Structure 1
């Protein structure tokens, strides 16, 4: 069923007024998103529930001091890694808390002084005939604030799950049933109720709009079993280019609705990888459970990646936990995607079990009688090489903390060692014996924990790359610091025969036909490799109008070729000015560049022009930030004194002295070229000190 978020006869004028009201920062007090996950409590037959709230609030982040009152069963989740984002507007943050409330619940919640939320839900207790248990309401993943562009249709699928396996549908909240207050309705958004997908037509003014939904779980031939609220926001921005240029998920990014099963104290992680051809990804925005780690965000050229990880410790969170994420550029947003963490229920240690934790091992003694028919021959630890012995009365195992597949994770300040005793069967064997999954845990308090696994120091960017500077130099072919490589050049994907360049005279004042653009750095690390994303030229210093010389590491046309050199931390590009239409006699050049270090001999830095991330190369390498370096004015006339000054980000406006270019000749068969070269800027003048960027998850969590 598809429904519009508003009557078909809504007047355009009213729509515009509504858009302007909703876009006004001072007028609104609603959230940018809300989801409530409801867990019925068996203690009173489901008449009360534990409601888990996640609310997206616009920046600055509001206080949570008034969410819980004295004597309430209420807990605010403080997290060391809060969920925040920069897009849209002035940014946002997430507030999360859990509270025991009646199964039918209506309330207005004040989140600080700037955000007011009305919440209505219906989770009246219902005992399921097929299981005899209380019904579990539906779960909906809360995506980061949605962004669209005027004139660009877009789909926003919601990720839904149900623990009972019921069908989940989404519908509009109904003000006449008290499900929302002053619910805005929009004719430019349609809702597919069966698929829980929003369709934005693009036919609306720029503004910020709220969408209020109810998610319901249904059994065949029955009405809704429960209704829980979902609030979303859609920020519509101006469209400046193609509607098809949004970032796309690629590489090892999990598919939508992927479920990852998590045992107690188990660490799960996955990579998010995006490509964006028009603009670099500014952030990968994520919303998930408390203490979800997001590390190693890297954006290089068209590629961006980040690692997401979560360690299951003791908690009262729901069994299903969504992790929803999007990639944001300055102008676009990827389609939202959610991964679900399923906290697998496991049996407690059987009666009579003894598990002792020693300095280097844990010892397990397990009564066979308590295993209830489990085939003992199928039991093994995380590593099949470690023995599990048993007789007619007991099963025993000695499990080293540094072997047998034992894993170490952090839970707060404590260090927790985990292994699992479980039934393992060949895929070809069908058995009617019950199976066993039994987590084994040894916790070491933080004050006692020692060794490199507990505290690992992450190297700074300066330690990895040294004091790094980036700058641009423009030289005639065969001149400059890389003149040995440009005198008789070898081009990427185009090899020229090694022969002496024939020099021809060029009249002073005539136009140049060839220039060499040299993108330079001076990292003290020999393994550092230069990556150049985009280079563009403009006839004006403000780059109001520009054309690409390089785009995502690729030559934009035959007018730009890369000259192969033996220098890893620099790049050279031959510019054929005879094929570039220029009106004036001066141009400016701007490039984006970064450095990469492979983390092992088997890894390679990414080829930005390849358009593929391969085996998550952005995760397995170390990068600096991507920086923009701009030249000063470059004369296009032979013999004319000019200034080619790269104004570094740290020292804008620094201009070296002008250098007069002498005419030069190109290799036979190419256009004659001449240019003026600038002097190399000093490290103090051209320095761009980069900040630490890449953090590897295994260094933080293992």
Structure 2
């Protein structure tokens, strides 16, 4: 009875534990972009929330209640990354709330946070309009190492031109809850720069800031009562990690990456595209983590040796997002994080065109008719389309232009379910400096989604399959002078980056396939292999494609708990291995000197990481990762596949297992050839060189995703619209 009573009490405690809500962690990052609503004098605002939460990513079902003016951004392109561990993602929504707002918010079962906003309406004396609170860019979760000081610049902007100041949130005024200051953090309020002194134990810390806007004043004149006009919350997280590698191995930002706090202006239906380029000598870049607006495309990630790059693109469709949209990104390695970079997308405000303006579209072109009376003081002879080769004509009453959908610089982008063809009529001054007004007129023809055939258009980058075909990679192992490439390995030519081929042959005694065969015929069947050729193969037959082997390692155990590098970052690690020069670039052959390798048993396992590459310019080649001449520009000017990881089964090192194999030299394998050895992590070959049936072709582990395929051009009736506006302004225009 006593035993049953104890068991019952234990069961009750277990039930209570399971029913108790899990610990509510703070967000890993939060910003709120606040837009005052004119219709009620700014008493309510449109709040645009961006929150970073731990994985698994919570849904957005609870952020919008029934009857609320609220919109959750459920995007097909989620921001989700792995560093810091375990993983994290971004959730975004917008909601109409009071201008003075304090509330606890909850996402899923893991993330609960407190938000305090003070955006009480204030009419600005300089323009008579409502004050607009500052914008703060949300960075990915911050990382640092113990005893390694680092600065984090928080990027801010203000549409009114006000000075933005950052300060720590105060619990005594209700701006935060449980927000004790950290002694290892310092804040430069004027520049919004957070400094980690390095004097903190490993762990995760939460930081609560407030961003304020103040009326700017000349340096020689300080306003006595320059109190903040508004303040908005900024939540950050800092993960401090142990590091045995020192403090100077953070990935470096390379040329071609947007400058810090830079601004890119975006017209309606315009696509903006930019790259993030990094170099990391100590550890390879695992990911380039990005936080940006909904439907920001992130394509073409490549981490090859010590170089890494990512292409980002955003298409301005019809949206109710804020006028300023930040994009922040960092490069993460296993132990380090790069400097934080943020760039801003500025959605230009457009005004309605005057009466009488028409844009008519048909299946092949758009036709523009524009009253010249609306173009006061604009030099009509300086107007041109995206391509200056297409004529723009005018008379005393109207300006006209015939704009083909397939020329004159017309581009196609996808807005929601619509395919949109866009061009721009703009002033191009023929003098270096001009005070004359300029014209910027976006034009568009839109095809309804029901008329668009084929896959959805995404970003103007081909998919991996479109570029390289259906890629398959595998490993093979053969004695010198044997196997499908025996004519290359029987009398090999070696790359001379480590040893000359003549010296290698003297030391190893490699000769023709005939001598190898005769030598092997006289050996004991339990004799160990002295040399072995590692074939890293692919089925790619695309012209100008090249294989890049970034890493290979050898282990005597299948789990690779104790492994030894053969190649790292594209470089052969010792004179135990030499590369055999081949005629084609879509496969590699390496001669392994088993006598000198640290192999004590009769079998080994090998794993390699592989990319295929095509240089985009015919005059270029793919980067040589072991050459000092390789640069970020070579990486950007090349197209890469995902990184493929292929692992062998047990590779026998006994000559007996190779004795009965065909030693006749053959031609190169066809492009659709199957692997001749079972070599993935999920398959093992029972006999070296045995042929796998088609059903056992290995599945290669891919670490990246690719963009969508472009659609076919629709030929049905097209509806034409003019997108909004003439932007005319008197200013000094300096033409590049």
The 1:632–1:249 alpha-carbon spacing in structure 2 relative to 1, beyond 3 Å, is farther
The Cα shift of 1:479 comes to 4.7
What is the rounded CA distance, in whole Å, between the counterparts of 2:560 and 2:274 in structure 1?
Answer: 39
- Matching residue within 83, 86, 89 for 1:87: 83
- Report what 2:724 is aligned to: none
- Matching residue within 510, 516, 519 for 2:535: 519
1:101-140 map, 5 Å: 101-140=97-136
The Cα shift of 1:478 comes to 4.5
The Cα shift of 1:655 comes to 4.3
- Report what 1:288 is aligned to: 292
- Report what 1:627 is aligned to: 645
- Matching residue within 588, 593, 614 for 1:571: 588
The Cα shift of 1:120 comes to 0.8
Q: Is the 8 A contact 1:276 1:303 kept in 2?
A: yes
What is the rounded CA distance, in whole Å, between the counterparts of 1:449 and 1:307 in structure 2?
Answer: 26
- Report what 2:570 is aligned to: 553
After superposition, give the CA deviation of every residue in 1:100-150 in whole Å (9 maximum; x if it has no partner). 223222122222343222111222333444444333322111112223334
- Report what 2:706 is aligned to: 695
- 1:36 is aligned to 2:29: no
1:54-69 map, 5 Å: 54-69=50-65
The Cα shift of 1:54 comes to 0.7
What is the rounded CA distance, in whole Å, between the counterparts of 2:167 and 2:97 in structure 1?
Answer: 24
The Cα shift of 1:230 comes to 0.7
Root-mean-square deviation (CA), in Å? 3.9
The 1:157–1:94 alpha-carbon spacing in structure 2 relative to 1, beyond 3 Å, is same
Query: Any stretches of 5+ residues in structure 1 without a counterpart?
Result: 1-24, 658-677
- Report what 1:648 is aligned to: 679
- Report what 2:308 is aligned to: 304
The Cα shift of 1:195 comes to 2.7
The Cα shift of 1:393 comes to 2.3
The 1:242–1:196 alpha-carbon spacing in structure 2 relative to 1, beyond 3 Å, is same
TM-score normalised per structure 2: 0.78
Q: Is the 8 A contact 1:650 1:687 kept in 2?
A: no
The Cα shift of 1:600 comes to 7.0
- Matching residue within 429, 438, 442 for 2:441: 438
What is the rounded CA distance, in whole Å, between the counterparts of 1:35 and 1:701 in structure 2?
Answer: 40
What is the rounded CA distance, in whole Å, between the counterparts of 2:533 and 2:211 in structure 1?
Answer: 57
Is the deviation greater in 608-617 or in 142-151?
608-617
The Cα shift of 1:685 comes to 9.9
After superposition, give the CA deviation of every residue in 1:189-219 in whole Å (9 maximum; x if it has no partner). 3323233222334443333221111122332
After superposition, give the CA deviation of every residue in 1:435-479 in whole Å (9 maximum; x if it has no partner). 22121222221123458996999767499444624124263x545
Q: What is the DSSP-based 3-state SS (H/G/I as helix, E as strand, rest coil) of the residue aligned with 1:485?
A: helix
1:157-556 map, 5 Å: 157-218=153-214, 219-220=216-217, 221=222, 222-239=226-243, 241-250=245-254, 252-431=256-435, 433-449=436-452, 461=465, 464-466=468-470, 468-473=472-477, 475=479, 477-493=480-496, 496=501, 515-523=531-539, 525=541, 527=543, 528-538=545-555, 542-556=559-573
Q: What is the DSSP-based 3-state SS (H/G/I as helix, E as strand, rest coil) of the residue aligned with 1:447?
A: helix
What is the rounded CA distance, in whole Å, between the counterparts of 2:637 and 2:680 in structure 1?
Answer: 26
What is the rounded CA distance, in whole Å, between the counterparts of 2:171 and 2:452 in structure 1?
Answer: 56
Q: Is the 8 A contact 1:138 1:160 kept in 2?
A: yes
The Cα shift of 1:576 comes to 5.5
The Cα shift of 1:223 comes to 3.5
Q: Is the 8 A contact 2:269 2:317 kept in 1?
A: yes
Q: Is the 8 A contact 1:514 1:574 kept in 2?
A: no
The Cα shift of 1:341 comes to 0.5
The Cα shift of 1:389 comes to 1.9
Is the deviation greater in 689-698 or in 256-265?
689-698
Q: Is the 8 A contact 2:48 2:95 kept in 1?
A: yes
What is the rounded CA distance, in whole Å, between the counterparts of 1:618 and 1:270 in structure 2?
Answer: 11
The Cα shift of 1:521 comes to 1.6
What is the rounded CA distance, in whole Å, between the counterparts of 1:587 and 1:516 in structure 2?
Answer: 12
TM-score normalised per structure 1: 0.82
Q: Is the 8 A contact 1:559 1:577 kept in 2?
A: yes
Q: Is the 8 A contact 1:210 1:233 kept in 2?
A: yes
After superposition, give the CA deviation of every residue in 1:261-302 in whole Å (9 maximum; x if it has no partner). 100111111123334444443333222112212223334444
The Cα shift of 1:228 comes to 1.3
